[in-house]
A and B are shown apart, each in its own frame.
Chain A
């Protein structure tokens, strides 16, 4: 039996390669994602461990999460006077203050921002005296050129940033600061490298201590962190405990190891999103690949039924027959996984290059191949292939021995009735879950809708042979009219084996259903943005930082004085937990805010006093608080009670809660405006005001002035960028589906060799034959498109419903895009048919007839 299996593998290598290719792509994506995220992880670990000192003293932290820490900037600091006390401790070799500043940008030589929305720019101080080494005992910075800055007006940059920004030693560097002055011009006096690997694309700007304090700590003689070097022989723990006794209230002394652990956890949390995101697409690719493999094996088993019957007649047991098929699957799974791993490695390299374009530079870290990645790739690859081959293998075992004697063999196939029943079960369960998630008040509606989508996809895939029949009948009618007998033959071929056609189309269906869903969501989000802006954007202009970072309150002062400006309402976005639920809120001055925006309050009014808050309707509902109640707000600096002054209709502009500006200061967050809403004096031409505003902002490339249209446009373009990324990733599923069509057609052509020979013998020309294959292919592709777009419409609507209260208020169906999808599918059909059609046309008529 083993020899038979092996012979089969060798004899059908092309077909098997095609089906292995589905596995290759799926596994490549899986392993590529893992390798890439592991690499990022490794690079971040290097940074985390390379940047901690033996012991650090910092303001006390609550359980700040990743998002809150990236939005809220720390304003608390530690007075410099502590340093002497710490230095005097017995276990301490040396102590030094460090400033960590954010919200600044290096302006490149070409006047564009370095980094932009990508990796962050971090401000550091040069330190007074020799810098403290990291916990491993190394200096963190390596000087490549020049020296550390010693006075105001001097800075040093990391080597990569200096190069990318186009600055050389001695140049004047422009830096956009989040404080005063908004634009600093400083001389580049030093260029340094980073001792422990790369910086993952982050930009480091080094200031002298006084300047760093001036720009990032409001000029206090204080530091963000006190770094401590332990004496030789003293452990981190011992020293940290000694230090803890002398530091002021509100600060904590932590070991380097635990700081590194914390930042590692934080990175992992962020990486987790990316990883899940990528793995979802790997999963989709594998599911689609499964269809392809099931189909390939079914066809191969059908074609070999006579041979299998012969084996059975010669005494092979059912088990031997089915295990010979499964062994084939195993070998294909192994080969596919191996190639997939190799391709995944390439993919990870590609991702590395791609992400470096967006500022995540990993050139300091080589790709990380963990054993886990390899084991997982093989396990998933082999398992998926064997699972997919399971049903065809069982069917193979059911071929009766007598079939060897018969001429035409009908494969024993499970009845469609069972399939229909299971499909209906899936369908009803899925539709029910989706309806519940969309319209009922269930917890975590998105999970319900997600499960529903899966159920309905399975139902459509299972039921597709039944759904396909009427669709293909329509094709038959159209083809017959346009292409006469060739069209008829093509339509008949597509209908000849509805399961095969439907399974092939299902692979495309899944990809297109998801693409359609995304396009509906995208269009709905865009429409919702437009409507929301139309409804809520009552200001004439909005001034924002390009990357949503807070900017110097100085700018708001400047703008108030601009001629033609009537009112300015500054707002700062902050994130905190309200009774344990994460809230994206705006901090504003209620009076200024009211001059520009009209927020419609369901009850109460805007918060003005300290320790007050207004909630959006959906937030009020989800934490079950209303006007007059008290909520507990948690920041990394601690928790504060706040009284609810009002509840307002959901608003995209404001977010989930509105707090007075005083909250920012109370919470120990650094003040900075995230946006300024501006009203022009009535009667002043908006164009003049805009020009005035732009002049006032000056040559500060971090700040943009937007009116209603450009604001909406900017928001839309963010959505669209994400949408295109998702389309690109779903493209993988479509590629696999196309391979599936090619495979099915190629196998069908082989199966119908005699028939094709006959058709050629009685006068079918080669172009007619090619057209026949092409038309069949287009029928399959459009069947997939129709099913997919139908399912996608359903999903899109359900998702929009379930996100109705989370910003996607309006449903939009992008009919134009949907039409394009159908056209593209037809094109996909044409392309998929190229090779099989050529193969069919090349068949030697004589050989085909004589059955060689």
Chain B
């Protein structure tokens, strides 16, 4: 089956610091993200996962290399265009602090659209709300919600503008396993039911088992890849990778 590439990172490098303190966070990463797929990025701490995400999600710029979202090359865009790109083509879920505290759940979900001065597609909106399972919490503010509920609101917000790709950096990192499972199954459903493309960084083999594909990063490079992961296979591959790079 021929898959369409939703996003493409080509030979990305990024170096932090100078001299002795120099860190090569990305050392020539190339990766393709396929449309309608749920991709996990894994790797030891400091391997460059977050940096890769930020570069692909137009939040940061690589020192060299090229990122394309759909048919657009990010390097050519100015700040305004990047902002519009983030608003219209990309969705984000961070580990924490995903919501604006002054706004209700509903207002948070609709934020990207209302910033752009757009109205949501009512059918799609209903779908997302239904899928996220928060219909009765829409009028609540973030401080009145549990961590899991807040992350699900963040997921809904990432999806509501029908972005090309959703980037999630350890979205379940702060959650217990039950809340984590809620969030992950929601992300899974959005891939299955709506054909959403999602890239997720995680350290958790169980979380990775929800995805279609796992990409392993080490020392700023892609070192391995796994399709149709299960928790056991992910664990096994992790130890192989770690042995190979000598951690």
Q: Which of the segments B31-39, B65-73, B81-89, B202-210 contacts the partner chain?
A: B81-89
Could you tell me if B92 and A764 are in contact, using CB atoms closer than 8 angstroms? no
Interface stretch of the complex, out of A461-469, A485-493, A567-575, A693-701: A485-493
Nearest CB on A from B124, distance (A): 17
Q: A496-B102, A755-B100, A846-B60 are in contact. Are A765 and B114 (CB under 8 A)?
A: no
Name the residue in B59, B80, B86, B97 with the highest tally of chain A Cβ atoms < 10 Å from its Cβ. Answer: B97
Contacts known (A485-B114, A493-B102, A851-B97); A762 close to B157, Cβ less than 8 A? yes
A798-852, CB < 8 A from B: 845-846, 849-851
Residue from the set B83, B86, B99, B114 with the largest chain A CB neighbour count within 10 Å: B83
A762 with B86: CB separation less than 8 A: yes
A760 near B60: Cβ-Cβ < 8 Å: no
The answer on a CB contact under 8 Å between A849 and B94 is yes
Asked if residues A754 and B97 are in contact (CB atoms below 8 Å), the reply is yes
Q: Tell me whether A80 is interfacial, beta carbon within 8 Å.
A: no
Across the interface, which residues of B come within 8 angstroms of A849, CB to CB? 59, 94, 97
B143 at the interface (CB under 8 A from A): yes
B10 on interface, CB distance cutoff 8 Å: no
**Chain A contacts for B100, CB-based, 8 A:** 489, 755, 758-759
The reply to whether A764 and B83 form a contact with Cβ atoms under 8 Å apart is yes
Q: Which chain A positions have C-beta within 8 A of B112? A: 762-763
In the bound complex, CA of A759 to CA of B94 (Å): 13
Cross-chain contact B97 with A762 (CB below 8 angstroms): no
Q: Which of A486, A493, A765 has the most CB of B within 10 A?
A: A765
Inside 8 A of A768's CB, which chain B residues have their CB? 115
Q: Is the CB of A274 closer than 8 A to any CB of chain B?
A: no
Q: Mark B95-125, 1 if CB is under 8 A from A, else 0.
A: 0011111110001000110111100000000
Give the distance to chain B from A762, nearest Cβ to Cβ, in Å. Answer: 5
User: How far apart sit A548 and B114, CA to CA, in the bound complex (Å)?
Assistant: 68
Interface string of A483-503 (1 = CB under 8 A from B): 011101100110110000000
Is the contact region of chain A dominated by helix, strand, or loop, or is it mixed? helix
Tell whether, in the assembled complex, residue B114 and residue A763 are in contact, meaning their CB atoms are under 8 Å apart. Answer: no
Contact B115 A408 (CB under 8 A): no
Interface extent on A, as a size class?
Answer: 20 to 34
Q: Note all chain A residues with C-beta closer than 8 A to B111.
A: 485, 759, 762
- Across-interface contacts of A851 in B (CB, < 8 A): 97
Contacts A763-B84, A764-B83; is A845 near B97 (CB within 8 Å)? no
Which of the residues A493, A758, A760, A764 comes within 8 Å of B98, measured between beta carbons?
Answer: A758
Give bound CA distance, A845 to B82, whole Å.
Answer: 12
A762→B115 contact, CB < 8 A: yes
Q: Are B59 and A758 in contact (CB under 8 A)?
A: no
Question: Which residues of chain B have C-beta atoms less than 8 A from A690's C-beta?
Answer: none
Give A493 to B99 CA distance when docked, in angstroms.
14
Interface residue? A708 (CB, 8 A): no
CA distance A768 to B114 in the complex (A): 12
Chain A contacts of B114 at CB under 8 A?
484-485, 488
Tell me if B2 counts as interface (CB < 8 A to partner A): no
Q: Does B54 contact A (CB under 8 A)?
A: yes
Contact of A758 among B54, B80, B87, B97 (CB under 8 A): B97
B176 within 8 A of A: no
A739-771 CB contacts (< 8 Å) to partner B: 754-755, 758-766, 768
- Interchain residue pairs A-B with the least CB separation, the first 3: A763-B87, A485-B114, A492-B102
24 contacts between A and B (CB under 8 A): A408-B101, A484-B117, A492-B102, A492-B103, A755-B97, A755-B101, A758-B97, A758-B98, A759-B111, A759-B115, A760-B83, A762-B87, A762-B111, A762-B112, A762-B115, A762-B157, A763-B86, A763-B112, A763-B116, A766-B79, A766-B83, A846-B59, A850-B50, A851-B97
- New A-B contacts (6) at CB < 8 Å, excluding given A485-B117, A495-B102, A758-B100: A755-B100, A755-B101, A761-B59, A761-B86, A762-B92, A765-B83
